A and B are shown apart, each in its own frame.
Chain A
């Protein structure tokens, strides 16, 4: 064997074996990554609009559980009443903590339809609030929940402006931005969020979107699903079932 043929053979051997080895390693790594991705918990929230009775027990429970000020305009979750009239106008009211008294009377024949819509932070996959935070105080956790770091938040309100769903408020005591966390502290103690716990009609559902059998998997299988403002590409993880097209 002369030097030329030896080198030739060596090179071809290295190329073939390297290709096989590399392909095997890469395939294995990709498989492992995919398995990791599937195993990871990704919290999602389901709202059945047709089940909500507008009792606002969720609002009260949320305020109690998370020390949200009782005054209106401070909400982690809230319930809106939609009244759609025959002339095509839509009135949206916040019903606060259960005072749905100013509902149109049943004798009002101009009302086409009316219903309640519970709202909360959508925990977007692409959160605009995290994008605009100048100090990186808002971030997304591994399980898909958007949290606010109250220690570094400077209270500039930029995120409150950026949120297309109006889900954030400035906490008057701490002067930092605050919002729904899916009751992160309860989820990690295997408890339901306070609003899901108290909802008398099971209009609210929470679960793992990646799991094969979770309340959210069932919710997504059994219902036609909508999200709020899908055109913004925020990819909300709060999914709505049986929602009217008028809901914004």
Chain B
């Protein structure tokens, strides 16, 4: 006991006063942090909860595709059967939440000019293969797209009957070849579906030497064609490995 007394007495007054000041400061800070500062200022969990709630409460501008079907069932049904079936209404008509709340106040725009459709359908080499693309400069210039294509059920107005409409390069090649007189269907069988879905339904191609042999074999009765002996000419190879059928001159 007397030892403790000695130690306390030995501490200089200045140091005691300093310790008291520090003690007051520390206790004061703890009190302020604990009681004066409101909880949302210091509790991060609370701030985050509040942010999450604030974020959830934000208003929407796009109504979503299901909202349109309530009032426009016939257009939605028409669209379901066409190539645009997976397209959301608001992709073309723009944000329409306001329109669903008060249909007469705001009307979503319907792009009818030649500027909008080419956003997706202009030819662009970076686009995936098979996506329907056109060159807007050459494709019926000045004509609004809607004059020929219904945007809710877009398909070519008249599916081209001439093969050359799509296969121009082949048609031009054949035109200067010995095969110019042959119809495409002489060698290719074209299912009707090819005109609607050109990439899924494909025309047939000859697969045997004997097919060419119908005109070009020694025994053939067709007149005016160059004849070869299928047994010795070309051996194991099929004809189109050396002769391109659309330009069959020997090269």
Contacts and interface: CB of A to CB of B under 8 A. Distances in A.
Contacts of B123: 106
A191 B64 contact: yes
Size bracket of the B interface = 20 to 34
B91 A198 contact: yes
Interface string B13-56: 00000000000000000000000000000001001101110011
A246 B137 CA distance: 33
A149 B47 contact: yes
Size bracket of the A interface = 35 or more
Interface string A179-220: 001001110110110100111111000000000000000000
> Most B CB atoms within 10 A — which of A64, A111, A198?
A198
Given A55-B120, A64-B95, A149-B47, A192 B125 contact: no
B126 interface: yes
B59 A185 contact: yes
A234 B131 CA distance: 34
Contacts of A192: 64
A194 B119 CA distance: 18
B127 interface: yes
Contacts of B86: 200-202
Question: Mostly helix, strand, loop or mixed at chain B's interface?
Answer: loop
A147 B61 CA distance: 20
Interface string A106-134: 10000100111000000000000000000
Interface in B90-131: 90-91, 94-95, 119-120, 123-128, 131
A100 B119 CA distance: 9
B128 A53 contact: yes
Contacts of A104: 125
Given A104-B125, A185-B55, A200-B120, A151 B64 contact: no
Interface string A57-79: 10001001100000000000000
A104 to B, nearest CB: 6
Contacts of A83: 126
17 contacts: A50-B128, A53-B120, A53-B128, A57-B119, A64-B62, A65-B62, A82-B126, A100-B126, A103-B125, A104-B125, A147-B51, A149-B51, A184-B56, A185-B56, A188-B56, A197-B91, A199-B88
Interface of A: 50-57, 61, 64-65, 81-83, 98, 100, 103-106, 111, 114-116, 136, 139, 141, 147-152, 181, 184-186, 188-189, 191-192, 194, 197-202
